[in-house]
Chain A
């Protein structure tokens, strides 16, 4: 019962020390001997952490006028709070890795660099080479506040052995919801505690974004085009939630994960036939011969993507220009491919696919080629607004109520829509 208190104390401590550091005037970063020093904050570990060091060292060796220092800030989940404390103290990093879902929040800070002019004046950068979902997430009311750092999406990952045992053909790219539902039913063997599919049912964003992909597959939308009203309580939303209801409540073919990631262990031990998941999970399945396919279609095969950003902060023109030089080098096609080869992460630019080294990447990491192809199905993004966490919470309650058999799709979505309309209407 004490760790929240510890967290608060730590936050207060960080706040005070950073405020104190801010009062002390100029800090370590800055310009000396014509070399501009900048800092970059990130939460990468393991292969990605090593790749970070490798690439930054390479940059520093080839760019004598700029020195980049890399700072590891721990778990990325808490990065926003740390960056906010640094801004309050007057000494933010020059660049920080931040989740895409925070773009609208961070855009409200006057210290955040708006990048439109940098992009316009740098013809080699080519903003349109980034995937559409990446560009939409980094853009808040027309202001570009981040450079894409990471991209992923949801696809269908299946256990080939369980499909063979059930006498089922592997999923194809022409699968529909009916195929998914039928296969899940056939893969479910209650006596062996085997399920056809799994769904994260903790009412968090994990629950919500999978539902949102289904909603878009029926041509539905989360909000109306003007962003002022809920739109998910439509026929498309009811269809999406009804699919979940039929599979979980009627067929009992879905393992409901209470949000602690047990589904990954269960898939790896051969208890679950299919998952809707992303490339980050693949390394958790060493014991399974798995295949990857794009999501089955409602009216279309849309998926959902959760891109993250490098956000730049204003510490004076010299440092801002140096930060731009670094980040445009770091996110170029050449370095993006280098990064993907070292880590297995999906390439952040479309032109990477045309580079000669791309084939090496595809053959080195199993399943990634489907995820890369699936990026073109990531057409829509979640609403870019600081109110999104509240919207997500309301939808999460609706989905969870239906999956637990406590509500009907239509009624649950209408109730959530009322809440969302109230949230959007609040001053």
Chain B
């Protein structure tokens, strides 16, 4: 009787349904992927065990190497740009101005719109011939660009599109954090004669540390898994200039039916994300201050 009444058991009973779902749809597929990565498996004929052959082949795969490079470049651009832009927008929207609710809604709408719809719109916006982007550039005297159809520009166009698509989420987090900053701290700084910029830099920014840490970790994980936007715009091209790691995984598993090889790519990515996230948390111990 006592056993059933203990907090321990009731706690586990409360989390059991969620835990069951996470294990079924999270842990089991990962375990399955681990097995798959040691197989030659086309999802059709009976699989055969090949040991670490998939991983060895990855080491000498130039397209995989290129996809890592592309993913890193994308992440290094997307994360700082989207977070800095979100901070600027959040500070602007934290002021008392007319139509504030309207602006805040407008900033968040892209997050609520499905990626596919966003991609269809941007395919037209960035069409080299008929797109509004080139029309705008031509109006101010800049010549037309290729955007998605130019191997040297496609990745940067994806960065622009995804920053636009995801900034609303970051803004909401920053707005909440900004409103959690105690007013008396800012007043104290002003009484001490701090300028507005100095107040922002030395009081507001450090207090946003936890929010920034969360956004850096979250955005990095998302950026390393970039797929939808690529699939719906460039499909990894032109000339593989936007073939990210996850897009390459998709190609291998679902277009070429190399499911084992695709699983190996996925596991390498899983480990990379774990390492990057750990590093970020370790670094943050020195950089992020928590108010007590």
A404 touches B239 (CB 8 A): yes
| Of A58-66, A165-173, A254-262, A274-282, the one touching chain B | A254-262
Determine which of A13, A106, A262, A393 lies in contact with B25 in the assembled complex, contact meaning CB atoms within 8 Å.
A13
B239 touches A9 (CB 8 A): no
- Chain A residues near B120: list those with CB within 8 A: 260
How far apart are the CA atoms of A109 and B42 in the complex, in Å?
A: 11
Say whether A133 faces chain B, with CB atoms less than 8 Å apart. no
Say whether B175 faces chain A, with CB atoms less than 8 Å apart. no
- Chain A residues near B129: list those with CB within 8 A: 193, 195, 255
Say whether A43 faces chain B, with CB atoms less than 8 Å apart. no
- Chain A residues near B231: list those with CB within 8 A: 4
A260 touches B123 (CB 8 A): yes
Determine which of B151, B226, B228 lies in contact with A406 in the assembled complex, contact meaning CB atoms within 8 Å.
B151
A259 touches B256 (CB 8 A): no
Determine which of B32, B225, B235, B240 lies in contact with A397 in the assembled complex, contact meaning CB atoms within 8 Å.
B240
How far apart are the CA atoms of A255 and B228 in the complex, in Å?
A: 25
How far apart are the CA atoms of A295 and B71 in the complex, in Å?
A: 42
Say whether B38 faces chain A, with CB atoms less than 8 Å apart. no
How far apart are the CA atoms of A3 and B25 in the complex, in Å?
A: 14
- Chain A residues near B251: list those with CB within 8 A: 393
Q: Given A202-B235, A266-B130, do A9 and B148 touch, yes or no (CB 8 Å)?
A: no
B44 touches A389 (CB 8 A): no
User: Which of B44, B233, B246 has most chain A Cβ within 10 Å?
Assistant: B44
Say whether A8 faces chain B, with CB atoms less than 8 Å apart. yes
Say whether A1 faces chain B, with CB atoms less than 8 Å apart. yes
A105 touches B257 (CB 8 A): yes
A404 touches B255 (CB 8 A): no
A4 touches B44 (CB 8 A): no
B176 to chain A, nearest CB (A): 22
How far apart are the CA atoms of A106 and B257 in the complex, in Å?
A: 12
- Chain A residues near B32: list those with CB within 8 A: 12
A109 touches B44 (CB 8 A): yes
- Chain B residues near A271: list those with CB within 8 A: 130
Say whether A390 faces chain B, with CB atoms less than 8 Å apart. yes
A81 touches B233 (CB 8 A): no
- Chain A residues near B174: list those with CB within 8 A: none
The chain A residue sitting closest to B127, CB to CB, is A262
Determine which of A1, A106, A258, A389 lies in contact with B226 in the assembled complex, contact meaning CB atoms within 8 Å.
A1
* B:37-70 near A, CB below 8 Å: 42-45
B20 to chain A, nearest CB (A): 13
The chain A residue sitting closest to B114, CB to CB, is A3
* A:210-267 near B, CB below 8 Å: 255-256, 258-260, 262, 266
How far apart are the CA atoms of A9 and B26 in the complex, in Å?
A: 8
B39 to chain A, nearest CB (A): 14
B68 to chain A, nearest CB (A): 17
Say whether B222 faces chain A, with CB atoms less than 8 Å apart. yes
- Chain A residues near B227: list those with CB within 8 A: 1, 3-4
B157 to chain A, nearest CB (A): 11
0/1 string, B104-135, CB within 8 A of A gives 1: 00000000000100001001100101100000
How far apart are the CA atoms of A109 and B257 in the complex, in Å?
A: 14
B256 touches A389 (CB 8 A): yes
The chain A residue sitting closest to B237, CB to CB, is A203
B130 touches A1 (CB 8 A): no
- Chain A residues near B42: list those with CB within 8 A: 105, 108, 386
A404 touches B44 (CB 8 A): no
A108 touches B45 (CB 8 A): yes
Say whether B234 faces chain A, with CB atoms less than 8 Å apart. yes
0/1 string, A192-203, CB within 8 A of B gives 1: 010100000111
B250 touches A4 (CB 8 A): yes
Say whether A400 faces chain B, with CB atoms less than 8 Å apart. yes
B235 touches A204 (CB 8 A): yes
A11 to chain B, nearest CB (A): 9
0/1 string, A1-20, CB within 8 A of B gives 1: 11111001100110010000
Say whether A84 faces chain B, with CB atoms less than 8 Å apart. yes
The chain A residue sitting closest to B247, CB to CB, is A4
- Chain A residues near B255: list those with CB within 8 A: 389, 393
B29 touches A8 (CB 8 A): yes
- Chain B residues near A203: list those with CB within 8 A: 235, 237-239
Determine which of A1, A256, A397, A401 lies in contact with B149 in the assembled complex, contact meaning CB atoms within 8 Å.
A256
- Chain B residues near A4: list those with CB within 8 A: 227-228, 231, 246, 250
How far apart are the CA atoms of A9 and B28 in the complex, in Å?
A: 10
Determine which of B29, B148, B222, B238 lies in contact with A1 in the assembled complex, contact meaning CB atoms within 8 Å.
B222
B149 touches A258 (CB 8 A): yes
The chain B residue sitting closest to A107, CB to CB, is B44
A135 to chain B, nearest CB (A): 23
Determine which of B225, B226, B246, B256 lies in contact with A393 in the assembled complex, contact meaning CB atoms within 8 Å.
B256
0/1 string, B246-275, CB within 8 A of A gives 1: 100011001111000000000000000000
- Chain A residues near B127: list those with CB within 8 A: 262
A260 touches B233 (CB 8 A): yes
Nearest 7 pairs of A and B residues by beta carbon: A108-B45, A12-B29, A4-B227, A260-B123, A108-B44, A1-B222, A1-B225
Question: Which residues from chain A sit less than 8 Å from chain B, CB to CB?
Answer: 1-5, 8-9, 12-13, 16, 81, 84, 105-106, 108-109, 193, 195, 201-204, 255-256, 258-260, 262, 266, 271, 386, 389-390, 393, 397, 400-401, 404, 406
A sample of 6 cross-chain residue pairs with beta-carbon separation below 8 angstroms, ordered by A number, consists of A8-B29, A12-B25, A262-B130, A271-B130, A389-B257, A390-B256
Q: A108-B45, A404-B238 are in contact. List 12 more A-B contacts (CB 8 A).
A: A4-B231, A8-B29, A16-B24, A81-B254, A109-B45, A258-B233, A258-B237, A258-B238, A262-B123, A262-B124, A400-B238, A404-B151
Question: Which residues from chain B sit less than 8 Å from chain A, CB to CB?
Answer: 24-25, 28-29, 32, 42-45, 115, 120, 123-124, 127, 129-130, 148-151, 222, 225-229, 231-235, 237-240, 246, 250-251, 254-257
